Each structure stands twice: as structure tokens, then as C-alpha cells.
Structure 1
Amino acid sequence: MLPQGAKVEVRAADRSGLLSDFTRMLREHGLSLLRMELKRHKDEAIGTFYIVTDSGCEVRAEALHAVRTRVAEIGISLEVAKDAPGWPPVRKTSVLAPSEAAAAVEQGHERPRSSLGSLLWSHLGKLSNNFG
């Protein structure tokens, strides 16, 4: 069985720093955002967040309850979406060397998506080589 994420719906009065506050509370509970969809209706921010654990394990109901309690203290309503429990399955991605990626594309395989962290490390590596 693959580790599972959770789909949650969030509502709050729109304000500066709202997303930062929400994601900080997720991180404090070992959770991260896999994907998000945000919209604004008048002065209200409405979002659908796809949450996964930092370690790739199943998102536990206890962690979601703890986050719900914490965000309620700062005026954020969080509800687990009933239409897609356990969505999405977490898939690990890897970053191929450029030659491996080109070979995979030639063979008809889809190129894996790079994460922000892997892209940052790649650019830092290139930058540090320029100083040497």
C-alpha cells in the first residue's frame, strides 16, 4: 500500500501572511503541501490543500486534528474533504542526470518532475563549481 495524503478545505478571512501561518503550522506537525488550489471570494480566502507527511507516511487523523485545533486559534477553518479521503497517493520522484533524462525521453518514458529542493541543490552545485 502506498502512503496516503489528505485533502483538506480551508477558509479564513484573507490577510497578509495567512498562507505562511498555515504552512508553518503544517510543518510544526510534520506535514507538507503537495498541491494547493486557492481562490478569493470578497474578503475570504478559500483553499483546497493536498497534504502529505514529511517522512512519506500516512497522514494520521491525530495530526490533522492537532492542526485543525491550532489553526482555529488564528481564525482558520479546516475540514477534511469527504469526497477524496486519502488523496493523493504519494509518489517519490528522482532527478535524472541530463543524459539519463534524454535517454528516457527517447525511449518514450515520461521525464520525472524535479522538486524545488532538488532544483535548488542542482543550482547551488553549479554555482559552487564556478567558485572553485
Structure 2
Amino acid sequence: MSQVPAELKYNDSHEWVRLEADGTVTVGITAHAQEALGDVVFVETPEVGRELSAGSSAGVVESVKAASDIYSPIDGAVLATNPALEGEPELVNSDPYGEGWMFRLQPANPAQINDMLDAAAYSDLIGA
């Protein structure tokens, strides 16, 4: 059964967002998503500086089973990507809410985070 950390926000395409102290957000895919994908073998993250719109494709996660788009949960500019994923894409499987994060955004409209699912609503969505 997937864990759903209470301090994060979620969207229905299985990305999570953590609001950082400096006002930026960290984005990754949920434990539920990585379990469905299986063993992750490659992660393509967005270019630093790229402007993303909520719901737009930001990258791709490839596993032994399938390739799946990563979607930007909110509007914003990419500030950083996780360099560890280049050599260790399996971090998405072993630590999806920590070392397996995908990218960081400077939100264009931080209020969009309030429209995302909380842990209880996401748990209901995935039947957890």
C-alpha cells in the first residue's frame, strides 16, 4: 500500500509538491505512481529555466514496464533538476518523496498549490 505524506499536495496525474521555506516547490511522482511503473530505469527532467504550465508535460519516467509523462502540477519556472537521477534513476522507487525528487519550480502563482489534493483526497483517489 502506498504511503501518502500529509505535508505534501498531490494531483490526479500522481505528482506531488512540497512547498519549501524559500517559496519554491519541489516536485516528484508519488509512491503509488512508481509502484505502478515498476523499476524505474531512466528519468528525463525539464531544462532549467523552462517555463511550465500546470498540466503540461515536464519530462518522462521510463521503467521496465512503460514510459510515462511527468506533468507540472503548477505554473512556474524550473530552477533545478535532481542530478542524482541521471546515475541512479531507481531513487524514484526507493525514496519517491525524498532523494527521488524530480525538479524544483519557482511558482508563477503559489495559490495554485491550494487547489491541489491534500493527502486525504489523494488517498481516496488511489483507494489507499
What range is the shorter-chain TM-score in?
Answer: under 0.3
TM-score, with length taken from structure 1:
0.25
Q: Which has the larger radius of gyration?
A: 1
- Please state which structure has a larger fraction of its residues in strand: 2
- Please state which structure has a larger fraction of its residues in helix: 1
TM-score, with length taken from structure 2:
0.26
